[in-house]
């Protein structure tokens, strides 16, 4: 019997060949499973009657040299394929790569079938309520209750820059932020407002990369304002490891802000 002990997938499909080797280390008895078995973690796959006991114990067959039984197992894992059970030659299908992110990105760009407009600085983005609501609990609450945005299918945004909003919407549709490094601070604020936790952490990571003596106090204030705990911890660690060069931060414009904390 074979058992899948651990794996990062819920199941594995594999073909199995079991053999008993004789004293010359050659296959004496072999069983080959022509179709792929389905292995699930914690469950066994095998043969309850692999070889007759009398045949195994018969010295003439030479299967127990020095009273040792040698079993050879060959496992061939089947990748992204489909196995037709019962056929000797499994038909292999090439599964196309998932294009969900690209397809939704195209939907955002061409604005087809949109049902809500997001207006900022006199410019509009056409979007889709279902996608916005699925990705952001803030948008979900906005469209679920009898709010102005739901009644008029229009969301007025006054505290986010046009390009920042575009990047946030692109992330909502695709899960990607291609211009993150250029606007990570503003995107962090937008992500916090609309509860986009993944985007928020991505912004924190990007900002931590560029921590410096000149900007660490600004990053600390930004992190505190938007509950960006990881960025805040990194900024504090940056200051603590440079007590001589950062002592002047106490006299910066944010001293009163942090002295109240």
Put simply, whether the predicted model's pTM sits higher than 0.75 gets the answer no
Q: What are phi and psi of 107, to 5 degrees?
A: -60, -40
In angstroms, the CA 172 to CA 133 distance is: 10
For the chain, the maximum distance between any two Cα atoms, rounded to a whole number of angstroms, is 93
Please tell me the distance from the alpha carbon of residue 91 to that of residue 81, in angstroms, as a whole number. Answer: 8
Q: Are 194 and 136 in contact (CB under 8 A)?
A: yes
Q: What is the pLDDT of residue 224?
A: 92
Q: Kindly report, residue by residue over 121-180, the tens digit of the pLDDT.
A: 889 999 999 999 999 999 999 998 878 878 889 999 999 999 999 999 999 999 999 899
Element (H, E) at 91: none
CA separation for the pair 190, 205 (Å, rounded): 16
C-alpha 174 chain-centroid distance: 13
CA–CA separation, 27 vs 35, rounded Å?
21
Pair 177, 187: CB distance under 8 Å: yes
Q: Distances in Å between the alpha carbon of 26 and those of 2, 63, 227?
A: 21, 10, 66
Q: Using DSSP bridges, classify how beta strands 116-120 and 154-156 pair: parallel, antiparallel or unpaired.
A: parallel
Please report the pLDDT score of residue 80 as a whole number.
Answer: 52
pLDDT of residue 149: 79
Q: Which parts of the chain register pLDDT below 70? A: 30, 32-34, 79-92, 243-261
Question: Where on the phi/psi map is residue 25: left (φ > 0), alpha (ψ -120 to 50), or beta?
Answer: left
Q: Token pair of 29, please?
A: 């008895």
Domains and CATH numbers, the chain: 2-78 (2.60.210.10), 99-191 (3.30.710.10), 211-261 (1.25.40.420)
The pLDDT, as a whole number, for residue 81 is 46
Given this model, what pLDDT does residue 255 score? 54
């Amino acid at each position: 019997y074979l058992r899948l002990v651990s794996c990062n997938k819920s199941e594995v499909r594999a073909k199995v060949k079991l053999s008993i080797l004789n004293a010359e280390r050659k296959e004496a008895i072999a069983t080959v499973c022509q179709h792929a078995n389905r292995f699930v973690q914690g469950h066994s796959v095998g043969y309850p009657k692999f070889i007759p006991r009398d045949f195994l114990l018969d010295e003439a067959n030479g299967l127990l040299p020095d009273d040792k039984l040698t079993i050879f197992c060959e496992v061939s894992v089947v990748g992204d394929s489909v196995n037709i059970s019962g056929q000797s030659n499994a038909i292999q299908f090439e599964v196309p790569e998932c294009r969900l992110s690209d397809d939704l990105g195209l939907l955002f760009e061409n604005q087809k079938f949109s049902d809500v407009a997001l207006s900022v600085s006199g410019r509009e983005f056409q979007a889709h309520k279902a996608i916005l609501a699925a990705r952001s609990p803030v948008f979900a609450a906005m469209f679920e209750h009898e709010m102005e945005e739901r009644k008029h299918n229009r969301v007025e945004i006054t505290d986010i820059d046009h390009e920042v909003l575009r990047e946030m919407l692109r992330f909502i549709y695709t899960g990607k932020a291609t211009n993150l490094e250029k606007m990570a601070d503003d995107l962090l604020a937008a992500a916090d407002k609309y509860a986009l936790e993944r985007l928020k952490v991505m912004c924190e990571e990007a900002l931590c990369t560029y921590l410096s003596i000149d900007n660490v106090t600004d990053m600390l204030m930004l992190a505190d304002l938007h509950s960006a705990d990881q960025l805040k911890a990194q900024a504090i660690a940056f200051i603590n490891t440079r007590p001589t060069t950062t002592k002047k931060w106490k006299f910066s414009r944010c001293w009163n802000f942090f002295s109240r904390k």
